[in-house]
Structure 1
Amino acid sequence: MTEENNVQQTLPRIGSPAPQFTAPTTHGEINLSDYEGKWVVLFSHPSDFTPVCTTEFVAFQGISEDLAALNAELIGLSIDSVPSHIAWVRNIEKNFDVKITFPVIADITMDVANKYGMIMPGESSTETSRAVFVIDDKQIVRAIIYYPSANGRNIPEVLRIVKALQTSDEHAVATPANWEPGERVIVPPAKTQAGAEERMNDDTIQCKDFYFCTKEI
């Protein structure tokens, strides 16, 4: 692989600025910078008019209003053309009675896919993988999720991780495994011995030990 291709296929890291792009979509041309101030869920799918991808589009549309309530927008992507995307979303509306309201990038040149490391040559060099990038309102990559082409994503997890990230940001806490909104959150560990002693006597939190404390928010 050439040095240029190595650069193109470098995967963005969690905590790094999201790669900027301008791209044609089913809603016209968009720039990632247009979404500054909003959270973005950018996801890729292997191909239009395929059964697993169809189930995912229906499921993503199902969480679109919940994401909007969190100031988050969906953007889909594959290497198919705009006419193909338009025909497919119209077919979904006709056959599944679901209207796709989010834009779908037509990444025929693979420009966006290469910037985000969405091509997995071991699976396919002509299709994007099932990738999800959660980008925050400051255009920083906050979460990355990949699934193989044969297996559809757990779409509720995409909504859950956006809620968890926003909760961590707002309250300076962490969230435990399988956390759902309304459940207890994890308080960051004490940084000093005195802080650990103080924490064990704090009635507002519950501690198993000095390093493992939770609270309600």
Structure 2
Amino acid sequence: METSEQDIVSFPQLNKPAPAFTARTTHGEKSLSDYQGRWLILFSHPADFTPVCTTEFMAFAKHHEEFLAEGADLLGLSIDSYFSHVAWVRNIKEKFGVEINFPIIEDLSMSVAKSYGMIHPGAADTSAVRATFIIDPNSILRAMVYYPMSNGRSIPEFLRVLKALKASDEHNIATPEGWQPGDQVIVPPPQDTEAADARMNEGYECTDWYFCKKSL
């Protein structure tokens, strides 16, 4: 079966520049370059006025100040109009008492969604899946996660990943499964046999030459 050009979905790549964009949002026009020097959490949702998306947006709003404290901004997106976004934000405030203080991109043309690989024909041709992108202060894409239409995301996990990425950048370390600030971190493995021989005597907590931890 042949694949047509319109069936091919492009996806951004980790550790490569995030696709540039300029778009209308609920807070005015926004471009990727506006976030230079700060981390950006860019996330898409299938549609306004849907229950799962509403729970996610309220959770992002709940943790908004924590993201800001980590030097990160939030930016939502769906393939809905500006007017739909405004009406939905007002509805969330009226019905749930939650203020959505971050901007939401209007992407009727699907240009931003397509450049970030948010459109998955196997899920929907005209809605963005639940995609989340963590972009660093140099506009490099550092993490991305896709969820199905039917299941909501865990927003604290993105906050955790953000903190882990910042720790890795600052200290040249890796983080183990479920790492939280204050936990031990993983020392990068030795790159040659001489370094491997020395590793066990370098003062780290080692299980073997390739698996050593330390406290920050």
TM-score (normalised: structure 1): 0.96
Q: Percent identity?
A: 55
Distance in 1 (alpha carbons) for counterparts of 2:65 and 2:4: 43
Distance in 1 (alpha carbons) for counterparts of 2:152 and 2:15: 26
**Which residue of the partner structure matches residue 63 of structure 1?**
63
Contact 2:76 2:104 in 1 (8 A): yes
1:14-51: CA deviation from partner (whole Å, max 9, x where unpaired): 11100000000000111111111010000000000000
Distance in 2 (alpha carbons) for counterparts of 1:10 and 1:138: 22
- Matching residue's letter, 2:138: K
Distance in 2 (alpha carbons) for counterparts of 1:4 and 1:180: 42
Structural mapping, 1:1-217, within 5 Å: 2-3=4-5, 6=8, 9-203=9-203, 205-217=204-216
By how many angstroms is 1:5 displaced? 6.3
The total of aligned residue pairs comes to 214
1:149-205: CA deviation from partner (whole Å, max 9, x where unpaired): 0000011111011011111000000000111111000000011222223221122x1
Q: Which runs of 4+ in 1 moved over 4 A?
A: none
1:108-144: CA deviation from partner (whole Å, max 9, x where unpaired): 0000000001011111111110000100000000001
Contact 2:7 2:121 in 1 (8 A): no
By how many angstroms is 1:214 displaced? 0.3
1:63-99: CA deviation from partner (whole Å, max 9, x where unpaired): 1111111110000000010010001011111111110
Q: Secondary structure at the match of 2:87?
A: helix
Unaligned runs of 5+ in 1: none
- Matching residue's letter, 2:209: F
- Matching residue's letter, 1:159: L
By how many angstroms is 1:2 displaced? 4.3
